[in-house]
Amino acid sequence: MPPTPPFGHWLSKHIKTGKSNCTHDREGESVEEMGQPELADADARLIIVGDPGRTDPHLQLAGNAVRTAKYSPFTFLPRNLFEQFHRVAYVYFLVIAVLNQLPQLAVFGRGASVLPLAFVLLVTAVKDAYEDWRRHRSDRIENNRAASVVDPRDGQFRPKRWKDVRVGEVLKVFADETNPCDMVLLATSDPTGVAYVQTINLDGESNLKTRYAKQETTSRPIGDEHPFAAGLIRCERPNRNIYGFLANMEIDGKRVSLGPSNIILRGCELKNTAWAIGVAVYAGSETKVMLNSSGAPSKRSRLETHMNRETLLLSAVLITLCSVVSICNGIWLGKHRNDLELSQFFRKRDYSDSDENYNYYGIGMQVFFTFLMSVIVFQIMIPISLYISMELARLGQAYFMIRDTNLYDESSNSKFQCRALNINEDLGQIKYVFSDKTGTLTENKMEFQCASIRGRDYSSGKVPLQDNGGTHSDLVGDQIWKPKMSVKTDPELVALLRSKVETEQGKQAREFFLALACCNTIVPLVVETADQTQKLIDYQGESPDEQALVYAAASYGFVLIERTSGHIVIDVLGDRQRYDVLGLHEFDSDRKRMSVIIGCPDKTVKLYVKGADISMFGVIQKTINLDIIRATETSINAYSSLGLRTLVIGMRKLSRNDFEEWQSAYENASTELIGRGRLLRAVASNVERDLHILGASGIEDKLQQGVPQAIESIRQAGIKVWVLTGDKQETAISIGFSCKLLTSEMTQIVINSNSRESCKKSLQDAVALSSKLAAISPDSENILRGTGSSRIALALVIDGNSLVYILETELEEELFKVATVCDVVLCCRVAPLQKAGIVALMKNQTDDMTLAIGDGANDVSMIQMADVGIGISGQEGRQAVMASDFAMGQFRFLVPLLLVHGHWNYQRMAYMILYNFYRNAVFVFILFWYVLYTAYSLTTAISEWSSVLYSVIYTALPTIVVGILDKDLSRRTLIKYPQLYRAGQRDERYNLKLFILTMMDSIWQSVAIFYIPYLAYRQSVVDGSSLGDLWTLAVVILVNIHLAMDVFQWNWITHASIWGCIVATVICVIIIDSIWMLPGYWAIFHIMGTGLFWLCLLGIIIAGILPRFTTKALTEYFMPNDIQIARELEKYQNINAATTSEIPMITLSQPL
């Protein structure tokens, strides 16, 4: 940081800087919804251009150093521990370890009691430290990058490290460099002040965006003493909205307004522009990209929620066991009150010091101590290790999901992303899928299909105009410039455009395509090709619809060639013409249209408007040409029933008066600081009236590959698909048909109302209809399950207007009733918050798992609301991906994700939880049975080290390996029979019944393990340690065999881990028994030398496993579930050969 220069005291009086007010934290998408917010002076940040010292005299603003690392070497230990102990499980662990340190309660040795906790903490800490070290390293690299900054003393550009850049400094960025902070553009290499940036690091969009420097600053000479001195920028406080910026600049006494197009954000790359100069307005942690880099939302899986319920049950069991032990101990002490004074093994009285009781605190206290001690001894009843095992297993599952080649999207070169690591298993229990349409079901690659001009529909007979290329290419010198993509054209329309005969239709058509070519924000980029004489024009822009329209215009001969901030050049049928762009009203969601004011070469001023049909028909002059409007409306309806997106184009010639009136209003509004957005909208609405209709366009939004098949599979899997879209009802329905969501056999229930009452009525009608249909179908239960094939399928179509009256009112219940009996629900014209509202409705009304999938910023709220949120990393930016739990490239990947990985993960995790409960319970029960024969004094025959290592080494690895690798069914089977997915929806793998059965099994096994040696060795010379070793080995072998019996697929890793663990246990026991300090010295060798030991071991294993094996054999053969049948199918009918219904996995070749 440079030293603070002395500052003028006049500044300190009224400049309020950055950090004191934190209320200004709006989410990006909501700002877009509300339109431009107003910039009140009190909320503003003041920046004096080129003078960081006066801008930020107290160094209160964030410097440009970024810090993504969480810890420093000094804070690592306390902070990391603090974070780790946020888990209740660890606190439980700690409390037990602390209890054990009390001398009266010392059950385990100090080391043995702390070891497991210390181990877990250490592993996590090492993992965190490594991740943090990597973050530190990348921070260091990032902070030390070089930037070119104006030295305020002499006005020269000097290199400076990124971290030293301060707000108010003037920077210069060169082509292909990354921008170090958020800066307002002052000048660029382009004389008009245009700069192109790529925002791929920011939002993932790869197309170039245009940014402008204001005319007032571009003309300033560079290299002067203070090139931009006295410039004062007043901008809003740092916020997360990367698509919004509100500021103005005072320069030379003039007030210039600044908007999102005047700022380049940190992380953007400058492209196609030699250099750009700007002033830093937000730095470091206050830049928009840093404010947006929040982590994935934390969700908790349903299985884990259920698991917590069973953990509570286990706690109850634990408390019962402890109470039994302590009460029995009390009774025993009471009964033997007199005996214990002298008995050799207790000796209550200390004879050396008078008549004092030695280590005896009265029965009450003894009972209390016994209780606490028994909690310590039986602590692993609550399987702490399960939490760590689950995390490791999920990590492994995520590894395999990410590396699955079937989830890789070639067209966008994107791998599957696992952003949330703790809900893998939820993917196996989804009941409802809420899907966005545009960009999710469709590709969001728009293609111009047809036009209706002056009421006449041109959509027949498409011929690609590739061969007679002369029409839509432009000759520049000896070079041919061609648009990068060509669109199929209608020959009749082409002929009309070319015809020399001046007809009204031809004039209108030319105006129409001129409007398409100029009413947009597209930037043409000229790209070299291998052929020297040929160059391609690549249209870069933010809206795919606009790109499609401009390519279409180019194909018809209206080629947009050049755009600067003041004019555009269009090649009109071979004739190059310059049009001045006098004004531009950007698209906003209130007006639903955009317009440009163009100064034509013939000195006329024209307003071109394009927008959504409803908004356009409101501003079109209806007094004349009524039949044209009608005809256009008919065409639009026809287009949208084909699934096309429609836009209406209108035009108005502006008289001189009109123009001047507009110009003054526009200038006033655009320099206004407060409520500028609203004023600009008012200006736009004022001028966009009395339009003359030119025509309408139909753009196809192509379905993504494999969507119909994917939807079919998902529905067979018993998952209900709801499509929530902002499109029109007709468009939504036609897309519904094309992706096989809707079929012609379905009965459609359409709810499309404008008032509360009519909503209520149509809902009641719908309920009546659905119950009537339910009554006539043979099995009404089937409807609820959505399985019946013999019944009439229902589809509900509802629009956003109706939802306004339904959501968050008592009508919700009715909607829920209707929606659940319907197979398909289509919601059209819904706002982003309504999407979340619908998801919330389902979440509140049912226990079923919901999944939301979407790609745009408007899906963020829905993605965050649903149990599982999936982001499509597609065309519409990365906001959805950033908010999602999982991200992938294509909608159809939902099939392998849910049906295969979801199914596997659910099955694995469910088994893992049950097995861990069982495994620890068996051990605890063995300890408990023994305690009954030690006068309830909590002695353990199993050595304390074995108790500690039991869940850490002896039995930990196999369950994790099985939790990562085991597959009940192969991928092919799961995709061939999507119905198998229903096992997860029915909670088949983990429920209370299974839990209780498992617990009963664990009690039986513990009885077998304990009582067989007990009865075999009673009245013998056996010592505690030897018997303890027998129990240790028996329990470890039995629980591993139990696991082995339930493993579905044995590969070498499974073999190695299960048998390896048994071997490791034997080695550990041998090592423990080789320590002379411990009482069990050499016990294992003595007992292993006897035949009785081996007979006991064999007997325990067979007797222990027998009930489970018998039950398994019985249920698998006589009560097989679907999964069992499918396994048999896999084994005996070689279904691998027949893969007819498999989803095709060929990726789409890129259209060009």
Partner 1 sequence: MNPRGDSTSGSDGAAEPRRKSKKPRYSRFTQQELPACKPLLTPAIVVTTFAFIGIIFIPIGLLSLSASGQVVEIVYQYDTDCIPEQMQNDKVAFIQSSMTNKTCTRTLTVPKNMEGPVHIYYELDNFYQNHRRYVKSRSDKQLRSKASETETTNCAPEATTSDGSVIVPCGLIAWSLFNDTYSFAVNSKIIEVNKKNIAWQSDKEHKFGSDVYPKNFQMGGLIGGAKLNASIPLSEQEDLIVWMRTAALPRFRKLYGRIETDLATNEQITVTIQNNYNTYSFEGKKNLVLSTTSWIGGKNDFLGTAYLTVGSLCLFLSMGFIILYLLKPRTLGDPSYLSWNRNPDGHY
Pick out residues in 1045-1104 that bind partner 1 (CB under 8 A). Answer: 1048-1054, 1076-1079, 1081-1082, 1085-1086, 1090-1092, 1095-1096, 1098-1099, 1102-1103
> How many CA atoms are closer than 13 Å to the CA of 363, on its beta-carbon side?
13
Cα distance from N-terminal residue to C-terminal residue, the chain: 50
42 touching partner 1, by CB under 8 A: no
For strand 275-282 and strand 170-174, is the pairing parallel, antiparallel, or unpaired? antiparallel
Least distance from partner 1 to the Cβ atom of residue 277, Å: 18
CB-wise, 243 or 1082, nearer to partner 1? 1082
Binding segment for partner 1 (CB under 8 A), chosen from 573-581, 877-885, 1044-1052, 1061-1069, is 1044-1052
Least distance from partner 1 to the Cβ atom of residue 1070, Å: 13
966 is in an annotated binding site: no
Contact 616, 593 (CB under 8 A): yes
Least distance from partner 1 to the Cβ atom of residue 341, Å: 7
**Among residues 937, 952, 997, 1148, the one that binds partner 1 under rule CB under 8 A:** 937
The strand order across the sheet containing 417-418 reads 417-418, 886-888, 868-872, 849-854, 430-436, 720-724, 824-828, 794-799, 747-751
Give CA–CA dist 962/1054, Å, rounded: 7
271 touching partner 1, by CB under 8 A: yes
CB-wise, 245 or 977, nearer to partner 1? 977
Least distance from partner 1 to the Cβ atom of residue 545, Å: 13
Least distance from partner 1 to the Cβ atom of residue 932, Å: 10
Binding segment for partner 1 (CB under 8 A), chosen from 2-10, 563-571, 657-665, 1026-1034, is 1026-1034
CB-wise, 526 or 769, nearer to partner 1? 526
Collapsing DSSP to helix, strand or coil, 891 comes out as: helix
967 touching partner 1, by CB under 8 A: yes
For strand 720-724 and strand 430-436, is the pairing parallel, antiparallel, or unpaired? parallel
529 is in an annotated binding site: no
| Cβ within 8 Å of residue 217, ≥6 positions away | 185, 186, 187, 193, 228, 231, 249, 251
Least distance from partner 1 to the Cβ atom of residue 1042, Å: 15
For residue 187, list its beta bridge partners.
277
CB-wise, 256 or 392, nearer to partner 1? 392
For residue 693, list its beta bridge partners.
650
**Among residues 351, 365, 492, 784, the one that binds partner 1 under rule CB under 8 A:** 351
Record the tokens describing residue 480, joined without a space: 């041919």
Least distance from partner 1 to the Cβ atom of residue 339, Å: 4
95 touching partner 1, by CB under 8 A: no
- The active-site residue out of 190, 203, 409, 436 is 436
Binding segment for partner 1 (CB under 8 A), chosen from 513-521, 625-633, 779-787, 846-854, is 779-787
Q: Within 1111-1150, which residues bind partner 1 (CB under 8 A)?
A: 1112-1114, 1116-1118, 1120-1122, 1125-1133, 1150
Contact 889, 61 (CB under 8 A): no
Least distance from partner 1 to the Cβ atom of residue 406, Å: 8
437 is in an annotated binding site: yes
Q: Within 530-569, which residues bind partner 1 (CB under 8 A)?
A: 535-536, 538-540, 547
Binding segment for partner 1 (CB under 8 A), chosen from 9-17, 257-265, 451-459, 1106-1114, is 1106-1114
In this structure, which amino acid lies at residue 198? Q
The strand order across the sheet containing 575-585 reads 456-458, 442-453, 692-703, 644-654, 605-611, 593-599, 575-585, 567-572, 558-563
CB-wise, 413 or 657, nearer to partner 1? 413
Record the tokens describing residue 524, joined without a space: 């043409």
Q: In sequence order, which ranges of 362-479 are alpha helices (DSSP H)?
A: 362-377, 384-402
CB-wise, 271 or 756, nearer to partner 1? 271
In this structure, which amino acid lies at residue 361? Y
Q: Within 620-639, which residues bind partner 1 (CB under 8 A)?
A: none
Residue 336 class from Cβ within 10 Å (0-12 exposed, 13-18 middle, 19+ buried)? Answer: middle
Binding segment for partner 1 (CB under 8 A), chosen from 47-55, 255-263, 683-691, 778-786, is 778-786
Residue 424 CB neighbours (<10 A): 29
- Torsion angles phi and psi, residue 851, rounded to 5: -130, 135
User: Which whole-number Å values give the CA distances from 804 to 764, 801, 818, 1042, 1116, in the listed order?
Assistant: 17, 5, 17, 56, 51
Q: Within 122-161, which residues bind partner 1 (CB under 8 A)?
A: none
19 is in an annotated binding site: no
CB-wise, 539 or 923, nearer to partner 1? 539
Q: Within 202-261, which residues bind partner 1 (CB under 8 A)?
A: 206-208
3-state SS track over 1111-1142: HHHHHHHHCCCHHHHHHHHHHHCCCCCCCCCC
Contact 955, 916 (CB under 8 A): no
User: Which whole-number Å values give the CA distances from 600 to 366, 511, 658, 659, 716, in the listed order?
Assistant: 100, 12, 16, 13, 58
Give CA–CA dist 690/655, Å, rounded: 13
Binding segment for partner 1 (CB under 8 A), chosen from 200-208, 238-246, 602-610, 676-684, is 200-208
409 is in an annotated binding site: no
859 is in an annotated binding site: yes
Binding mask of the shown chain, residues 157 to 176, with x at each position contacting partner 1 by CB under 8 A:
------------------xx
Q: Specify whether 436 is catalytic.
A: yes
Q: How many positions of this chain bind partner 1 (CB under 8 A)?
A: 130
935 touching partner 1, by CB under 8 A: yes
Least distance from partner 1 to the Cβ atom of residue 1020, Å: 6
Record the tokens describing residue 501, joined without a space: 């005969």
Least distance from partner 1 to the Cβ atom of residue 943, Å: 12
Record the tokens describing residue 295, joined without a space: 């982590």
Question: Which H or E element spans position 55?
Answer: helix 52-55
Least distance from partner 1 to the Cβ atom of residue 744, Å: 23
858 is in an annotated binding site: yes
726 is in an annotated binding site: yes
**Among residues 1106, 1138, 1139, 1141, the one that binds partner 1 under rule CB under 8 A:** 1106
Least distance from partner 1 to the Cβ atom of residue 124, Å: 26
CB-wise, 472 or 976, nearer to partner 1? 976
Look at residues 985, 736, 704, 738 and name the one whose alpha carbon lies nearest to residue 851: 985
76 touching partner 1, by CB under 8 A: no
Binding mask of the shown chain, residues 432 to 471, with x at each position contacting partner 1 by CB under 8 A:
-------------x--------------------------
Residue found by looking up tokens 């290299």 in the block: 223
User: Which whole-number Å values give the CA distances from 1109 to 225, 239, 1044, 1124, 1129, in the listed order?
Assistant: 89, 62, 12, 15, 22
528 touching partner 1, by CB under 8 A: yes
992 touching partner 1, by CB under 8 A: no
For residue 147, list its beta bridge partners.
160
Q: Within 302-341, which residues bind partner 1 (CB under 8 A)?
A: 336, 339-341
Contact 101, 109 (CB under 8 A): no
Residue found by looking up tokens 């999901």 in the block: 401
Q: Within 484-513, which residues bind partner 1 (CB under 8 A)?
A: 484-485
Record the tokens describing residue 24, joined without a space: 């200004």
Q: Within 378-417, which residues bind partner 1 (CB under 8 A)?
A: 399-400, 402-405, 408, 410, 413-415
Give CA–CA dist 701/641, Å, rounded: 13
Catalytically annotated residues: 436
Annotated binding site: 436-438, 546, 587, 610, 645, 725-727, 829, 835, 855, 858-859
Annotated binding site for ATP: 436-438, 546, 587, 610, 645, 725-727, 829, 835, 858-859
Annotated binding site for Mg(2+): 436, 438, 855, 859
